[in-house]
Structure 1
Amino acid sequence: MAPRVLVSDKLSPTAVQIFKDRGVEVDYLPDLGKDKDKLLELIGQYDGLAIRSATKATEKLIAAATNLKVIGRAGIGVDNVDIPAASRRGIIVMNTPFGNSITTAEHAIALMFAVARQLPEADQSTRAGKWEKNRFMGVEITGKTLGVIGCGNIGSIVATRAIGLKMHVVAFDPFLSEGRAEELGVEKVELDDLLARADFISLHTPMTDKTRNIINAENLAKMKDGVRIINCARGGLIVEKDLVAALKSGKVAGAGIDVFEVEPATESELFNLPNVVCTPHLGASTSEAQENVAIQVAEQMADYLIKGAVSNAINMPSITAEEAPRLKPFVKLAEVLGAFIGQVTDEPIQEVEILFDGSTAAMNIRALMSAALAGLIRPQVSDVNMVSAPVMVKERGIIVSEVKRDKSGVFDGYIKITVRTTTRTRSIAGTCFSDGKPRFIQIKGINLDAEVGQHMLYTTNNDTPGMIGWLGTVCGEHGVNIANFSLGRERMGGDAIALLYLDERIPDAVLDVLRANEAIVQARPLVFDVAAD
């Protein structure tokens, strides 16, 4: 029996034909995504659901989708899909991470021109018969400095286009290497330097805990007077009320805004300001981009439903059905090891070496490396997956190498990740025991045995008496429950580390207490994508 796919949003007719040509039955009901009740009633009939942004794949809908095997999102963002709920039901969630890149980059450049020359206001004035030639005094972009915050796939396209327009480009991106910056022709700088020097600032970073509200009153104050800001990335990157105040005061001369804190944005203070150009999230809205992502998602879904091939999956590695049972725990292990280093490393990573020892050397190395790289950069690039991670790492000029070797220790097999930055080298190793759960077995060359939990605390300190008791006391006094406590040290009186598996994320106030102790070198909260017990 042929698999059935429901297309509940508007997709290209070419995509519908691809499903049919590949032997998939398809129902094209482009308005169904807006009718939650009807969609809930029909979803149980389908093996696949192809959507854009209108359909909301909620936990309730996924619970009713008793036959659903794959959800395909034509586009990058999967905010409208409850990924944990889908994962629990064994439903693969796919996206098309690169189909919108050129279109979004071009929209950012278009907004920059529109803001520089006040084109929308000038258009309205001229249509009204006013001919206010002196009112609309613009600025040239030639010779100006463009600050690109986030120089990944889209940001790098914006940078190269701006260089072609004779702009000088400075870029802030923790994962951008000096080599990649030189290749692009941009100057790699820290954020404060970018804010102080840029005439135009364009945002191209994903929404993470580190980037949320990155344009706020404090950072606006660091900018040049008369700066112009473009945002085609995510609405929550800018504190809108702070931007409004800066626009009214003249600190910011203009802004081009395609994304908003709340969408759809039917009202905003930004709408009332003459020096702002607003568009309704049009970054991906060109016929070419819509066609590209629709074709990609149809091909990916059809390949999975007919052949079992998995690509661009958010919540599942690209592995075959035969190797899945044995490989899957080690895919999670690799992802967790990468996520550990990604969360404790602030400076740009130059090299990554992944060692596969013993039994792991005979596994699907490509899948394991992709999982490790996805975990490594996910703290900065939230929508990365196993397929896109190697591409994103390569774009940032990070050198990746693998090493395989025969069993060399007490474990049948383990994985070790080592990263190098300009200032230091970090390493972590882990394995899976018979229960299939990942374990940390070495950090910074120090042996330990630590169970991986959803919320953890990592500390490094001088090996002095009383530290273990003090850590436990501080957590206890602040109501932080410790599920597991693992320790290791280099030597007596040397470096010591601790990993605490906690019931919930440790509050910032507790971190402040820990960091105030001179014996504590660092105290880091960690979050891992593993089910809490």
Structure 2
Amino acid sequence: MAPKVLVSDKLSETAVQIFRDRGIDVTFEPDLGKDKERLAKVIGEYDGLAIRSATKVTEKLLRNAKNLKVIGRAGIGVDNVDLAAASKRGIIVMNTPFGNSITTAEHAIAMMMAVARQIPEAHYSTRSGKWEKSRFMGVELTGKTLGVIGAGNIGSIVIDRALGLKMKVIAYDPFLSQERADKLGAEKVEFEELLARSDFITLHVPLTDKTRNILSREAIAKMKPGVRIINCARGGLIDEEALVEALKSGHVAGAALDVFAEEPATQHPVFELPNVVTTPHLGASTREAQENVAIQIAEQMSDYLLTGAVQNALNMPSVTAEEAKVMGPWIRLAQHLGAFVGQMTEEPIKAVNILYNGQVAEMNTAALNAAAIAGVMKAVNPEVNMVSAPVLAKERGIDVTTTTQGKTGVFDAYIKLTVVTPGRERSIAGTVFSDGKPRFIQIKGINIDSEVAPYMVYTTNKDVPGIIGTLGQTMGAHGINIANFTLGRSERGGDAIALLSVDEPVPAEVLDELRATGKFQSVRPLVFEGA
């Protein structure tokens, strides 16, 4: 029997035809996604669900999806899909992470031009019968410095287009290597330097805890007077209240905003300002982009349903079903090892070296590599998955090397991950015991034995008395329960480390209190998804 796919949103006819041509039994009801009750009644008949943004895939809907095997989102965002609920039910969630890149980059360039020449305001003035040439005195782009925050897939395209406009481009990205910057033709700079030198600043980063309000009040104050800001990435990257004040004072000469902290933005203080260009989140809205992502998702879903091949999955590695049974715990371990060093590393990463020892060296190391790299990069980009991570690492010039070797040491198998930055190397090793639980077995060359927990605290210090007491007393004083406590040292009186598993995230003020004791070289909170 042919697999059955429901298309419940407005996908192109070309994409629907791809399902038919591949032998899929497809039902095309582009408005069904808006009818929650009827969708819930019919979803149990289908093996696949192809959607855009209108269909909301909730846990309640998934309770009725008895046969559903794959959800395909035409586009990058999956905010309308309960990913955790889908994962628990063994349903793969796919997206198309790169289909909108050119369109979004072109929109950023168009917005930059519009704010440089005040095109929308001049348009309305002229349409109203005025002829105000002197009022709309713009600025040229040629020779100006464009600061690009985020040099990933979209940011790289913006850099290329800006160079074609004869702009000087400087770029800030924690993962941007010097080699990659040279290849792009951009000057690699630190964040503070970008703020001070840029005539235009454009944002191309995801919204995370680290990037939220990256253009804060303090950051805006450090910008060159007369700067113009473009945001076609995510709302929440700019302190909008501070931006309004800077626009009114003239410190910021103009802004072009496609996204807002709260959407839909039907009312906003920037709408009252003449030096602002706004659009309703149109970054990915071109016919070509919509067609591309629709075709891609149809191909991906068909491949999975007919052959079992997995592409661009957010909740499943690209491995066969047989491999997944054996590799599951090792994939989680690789992700946790990557997440550890990713959360510890703030410098640009030059290389990631992964050593597979013993039995694990005979597994699908490409999938394990992808899991480890995804773990590293999730610290700054939570949208990264096992499929997109190797692509993004390559774009940023990160050299990934793999070494396999037979069993050495006391463990039947282990993985050791080393991250190389301009200033240092960080390494961590782990294994999987017979209970299937990943464990950390070595950090900084110091042997330990620690299970991985969702919330942990990592400290480094000299091996002196009182460390355990300080950690225990401080946590206890704030009502934080320590579930597990692991210690290790290089030698008596030498370097020492501690890993604490705690029941909940440790507040920043508690971490600061530990740092203030002067007993620790570093105190770091860690989060491990899926632990």
Structure 2 length normalisation: TM-score? 0.99
- CA shift, 1:242, in A, is 1.6
Corresponding position of 2:519: 519
Match of 1:278 in 2: 278
Amino acid at match of 2:269: E
TM-superposed CA distance for 1:360, in Å, is 0.8
Structure 1 residue 375: deviation in Å? 0.6
User: Identity, % of aligned pairs?
Assistant: 69
Report whether the alignment pairs 1:30 with 2:30. yes
2:378 matches 1:371: no
Q: How has the CA–CA distance of structure 1 residues 34 and 240 changed in structure 2, closer, same or farther, with 3 Å as cutoff?
A: farther
1:334 paired with 2:350, answer no
Match of 1:209 in 2: 209
Q: Matches of 1:359 and 1:170 in 2, distance apart?
A: 46
User: What secondary structure sits across from 1:373 in the alignment?
Assistant: helix
Do residues 252 (structure 1) and 244 (structure 2) align? no
Partner in structure 2 of residue 400 of structure 1: 400
Query: Quick one: which amino acid aligns to residue 487 of structure 1?
Result: L
1:320 is aligned to 320
Q: Residues of 2 paired with 1:65 and 1:515: CA distance?
A: 50
AA paired with 1:274? P
User: How far did 1:36 drift?
Assistant: 2.3
| Separation in structure 1 between the aligned mates of residue 203 and residue 150 of structure 2, nearest angstrom | 7
Aligned-partner SS, 1:487: strand
Counterparts of 1:27-426 in structure 2, within 5 Å, are 27-426=27-426
Report the 3-state secondary structure (helix = DSSP H, G, I; strand = E; otherwise coil) of the residue aligned with 1:383.
Answer: coil
SS at match of 1:236: coil
Q: Which has the higher mean CA deviation after the structures are superposed, 47-56 or 36-45?
A: 36-45
How far has the Cα of 1:62 moved from its partner? 2.1
Q: Which amino acid aligns with 2:339?
A: A
Structure 1 residues 335-344 or 47-56, which shifts more? 47-56
In 2, the alpha carbon distance for the partners of 1:425 and 1:23 equals 51
Corresponding residue number in structure 1 for 2:472:
472
1-structure distance, mates of 2:42, 2:266: 31
Alpha-carbon separation, structure 2, partners of 1:529 and 1:253: 42
Per-residue deviation, residues 11-67 of structure 1 (Å, max 9, x unmatched): 111110111111211111111222223222322222111111122212222233222
TM-score, normalised to structure 1, is 0.98
Q: Using the TM superposition, give the Cα deviation of residue 5 of structure 1 relative to its aligned residue in structure 2, in angstroms.
A: 1.3
Q: Secondary structure at the match of 1:353?
A: strand
What is the alpha-carbon distance in structure 2 between the residues aligned to residue 525 and residue 37 of structure 1? 43
Separation in structure 2 between the aligned mates of residue 161 and residue 393 of structure 1, nearest angstrom: 22
Taking the aligned partners of 2:271 and 2:92, their CA distance within structure 1 comes to 39
Deviations 1:302-360 (A, max 9, x none): 11111111110001000001211101111111111001100001111111100000001
The CA distance in 1 between the partners of 2:153 and 2:159, in whole Å, is 10
Secondary structure of the 1:140 match is: coil
State the match for 1:529 in structure 2: 529
> Quick one: distance in 1 between partners of 2:387 and 2:280?
30
**Secondary structure at 2:350's aligned position in 1?**
strand
Q: Secondary structure at the match of 1:343?
A: helix
RMSD over aligned CA atoms reads 1.0
> How much does 1:422 deviate?
0.9
Distance 2:439 2:25 in 1: 44
Q: What residue identity is the alignment partner of 2:519?
A: A
SS at structure 1 position matched to 2:284 = coil
In structure 2, what residue type is equivalent to 1:420?
V
CA distance in 1, matches of 2:219, 2:352: 32
Per the TM alignment, residue 222 of structure 1 is displaced from its structure 2 partner at its CA by: 0.8
1:160 positional shift: 1.2
1:454 paired residue number: 454
Aligned residues: 531
Secondary structure of the residue that 1:514 maps to in structure 2? helix
Query: How far 1:119 moved relative to its partner?
Result: 0.4
What SS is found at the alignment partner of 1:497?
Answer: strand
SS of aligned partner of 2:194: helix
Gaps of 5+ in 2: none
What amino acid sits opposite 2:357 in the alignment?
D
Greater mean deviation of Cα atoms: 441-450 or 212-221:
212-221
Structure 1 outlier segments of 4+, above 3 Å: none
How far is the alpha carbon of 1:401 from its aligned partner?
0.5
Distance 2:489 2:17 in 1: 61
Q: Which amino acid aligns with 2:139?
A: V
Aligned equivalents of 1:28, 1:242: Cα separation in 2: 46
1:95 CA drift (Å) = 0.7
Quick one: distance in 2 between partners of 1:431 and 1:305? 33
| Distance in 1 of aligned mates of 2:60 and 2:189 | 46
CA drift of 1:265 comes to 1.8
**Residue 508 of structure 2 corresponds to which residue in structure 1?**
508
Distance across 2 between alignment mates of 1:7 and 1:239: 38
| SS class of match (2:215) | coil
1:232 Cα deviation from its structure 2 partner = 0.7
> In 2, Cα distance between the equivalents of 1:29 and 1:274?
43
Q: Deviations over 1:436-466 (max 9, x none)?
A: 1111000011000000011111111111101
Residue matched to 2:9:
9
SS of 1:370's equivalent in the other structure is helix
* Residue 253 of structure 1: how far off its partner (Å): 0.9
- Structure 1, residues 368-420: CA drift from partner, whole Å, max 9, x if none? 00110111101111111111111100111111100010101111111100111
